[in-house]
Amino acid sequence: DSGVTQTPKHLITATGQRVTLRCSPRSGDLSVYWYQQSLDQGLQFLIQYYNGEERAKGNILERFSAQQFPDLHSELNLSSLELGDSALYFCASGRLDRGTDTQYFGPGTRLTVL
């Protein structure tokens, strides 16, 4: 158990819909990272937040957005869903160690878009 929690574990929805994925980082970790994992694209970094502020952006679509709240939990919002958005979405929380974050991953949310 990494100490990172994600809800829900599974999500099934239809094209065009909007969903929100939630992540709670490990106690004391200030960074939250979001990733998408699919069979064809592999593990793709989406976005990072640090103490409430956006820190880095990866391959995140404009239809997707995220935020980190004062209690440090984070939400990833996916809108106008398409079939290709079906994937595993992971969040990771990061702790600074000798100049870099070590990331600890949550169990993931499996999103299925029908």
Q: How far is the CB of 47 from another protein (least distance, A)?
A: 12
Binding status of residue 42 toward another protein by CB under 8 A: yes
Strand order in the sheet with 5-7: 5-7, 19-24, 74-78, 64-68
Segment lying near another protein (by CB under 8 A), choices 18-26, 61-69, 70-78, 92-100: 92-100
DSSP one-letter string for 48-62: EEETTEEEEE-S--T
Contact residues for another protein, defined by CB under 8 A: 2, 4, 33, 42-43, 45, 48, 55-56, 90, 92, 97-108
